[in-house]
Amino acid sequence: MVTLVWFRRDLRLADNPALVHALAAGRPIVPCFILDDADAGDRAPGGASRWWLDGSLAALARDLAARGSRLVLKRGPAERVLDALIAETGASAVVWNRRYEPWARARDERVTSRLEARGIEATSCNAALLREPWMLATRQGEPYRIFTPFRTALRARFEPTPPMPAPDRLPAPRRWPASETLASLCLLPDKPDWAGGLRAAWSPGETGARARLDAFLDGALLDYRERRDLPGTRGTSRLSPHLHFGEIGPKQIWHAVKTHALAETGDTDPPGAATFLSEIAWREFSYHLLHHFPALPDVPLRAGFEAFPWREDGAGERAWQRGLTGYPIVDAGMRELWATGWMHNRVRMIVASFLVKDLLVPWQRGERWFWDTLVDADLASNAASWQWVAGCGADAAPYFRIFNPALQGAKFDPRGEYVRRWVPELAKLRDAQIHAPWEAQPIELAEAGITLGRTYPQRIVDHRLARQRALDAFAKLGKT
């Protein structure tokens, strides 16, 4: 008798509820991963996510081998693959941790029905969230649409418990089933030079996740409230891709933050820790929205917003993607994204606002670009955040908020460190000019070695005019 542990986006051994459940049964365990993108359609993992998945699976395989086990790799429709694994191993139980994308939920329901019809024990657990999305509701029994009351309810309902350590050993079967090789899954990009920046920036896997968390606790946590908006400093956790792939769970992070804060300050909820845990709560809120509004990635939550007069601006969109808009903070962010598969959160808001409000390009186009290029591309968080910036999502008040990229750059990158790193052609400009090079005098540009339109692009749009155009569009929307 064998238990199959079906790994999905829970690629860790510590505090893994499905693994704990399997160990409690006392049977030999066969860990497996099934690459099954068919149900996701055009929401299959993008290039950056596939690169990360390759590294994370390699790390998980090493961790399992160190405990006397193996990771069995398969590809194909999950129902059919599980049937074959059950036949090959004689498994009497399958256990997994839940996913929340609409197609994944539908697939899990089919798998559960199929297994139970055959008398196979089917068990799913929660490894990804503090509370299940269906466990929180307003007093009227409705889903939350505003973040602050959701966060209050989450904190009131979540009772943290110490995370469970990784097991020392896993009971192995007498005979292992056949496995694909990691290389045969073809997860790595066709352009290996593009992945060089990803390799330099990240260490996928549970060990890398723990190292990233420890560095954050010892570094930026207590100053997080003040430093989180400054892209030129190491003021954020950079845990988002590790969280997305389940190399670390939110309960582990919550417990570690509270424990560290108490040890350092005598308080479990100092400002830095409280602000950071609010970001974890925003992630929970995003999953709450996706569960209750499964069309979130494509359809605006605000009624009537589908009538917004978006523009087709292929040239502007391409300039935005390539980091050639002529707005330094926008270009720095888009170049950081292309080079590392990640972008600072404050800058994500700035570049998103520029695309949807300065250029009036539909937010779905930006969300899709992020989906392919972010190592932390997460359907719930990505969609909820783009809708928030666009003004059509939950808690998007005022919905007509429009960021001025030059002012945002001057406020959050006052010394220009971030821009100088990612837009080196502007490096010699003075701090006062670096976020608005079009305002510099010709002699100042010449001294910095800059020719606008040649060494650095002219602005593709005048923000003052673009802002008014966007406000006019919002005004028309309000009358429909």
Question: Which two tokens mark 477?
Answer: 């929307």
Query: For the chain, how many helices (H) and strands (E)?
Result: 20, 5
Cis before 45? omega within 30:
no
Strand residues in 21-173 grouped as ranges (E): 29-35, 72-75, 91-97, 121-125
Q: Is 176 a catalytic residue?
A: no
Task: Please identify which of the residues 202, 386, 388, 422 carries the catalytic annotation.
Answer: 386
Q: Is 388 a catalytic residue?
A: no
Instruction: Residue 428: count other Cβ atoms within 10 Å of its Cβ.
Output: 15
Pairing relationship of beta strands 91-97 and 72-75 according to DSSP bridges: unpaired
Question: Which two tokens mark 366?
Answer: 């930006």
Question: Which two tokens mark 128?
Answer: 């990804």
For residue 7, the surrounding DSSP H or E stretch is strand 2-7
In the three-class reduction of DSSP (H, G, I as helix; E, B as strand; rest coil), residue 29 is classed as strand
Tell me the DSSP string of 374-406. -TT--HHHHHHHHHHHHT-STT--STT----HH
| DSSP code, position 14 | T
Task: Please identify which of the residues 103, 345, 417, 425 carries the catalytic annotation.
Answer: 345
Q: Is 103 a catalytic residue?
A: no
In the three-class reduction of DSSP (H, G, I as helix; E, B as strand; rest coil), residue 132 is classed as coil
Task: Please identify which of the residues 79, 132, 264, 279 carries the catalytic annotation.
Answer: 279
Tell me the DSSP string of 431-476. TTTTT-GGGS-HHHHHHTT--BTTTBPPPSS-HHHHHHHHHHHHHH
d(C-alpha 174, C-alpha 75), whole Å: 23
Q: Is 310 a catalytic residue?
A: yes
Task: Please identify which of the residues 363, 369, 371, 388 carries the catalytic annotation.
Answer: 363
Q: Is 279 a catalytic residue?
A: yes
Q: Is 254 a catalytic residue?
A: no
d(C-alpha 58, C-alpha 60), whole Å: 6
Phi, psi of 125 (to 5 degrees): -130, 175
Task: Please identify which of the residues 194, 310, 338, 438 carries the catalytic annotation.
Answer: 310
Catalytic residues: 279, 282, 310, 345, 363, 386
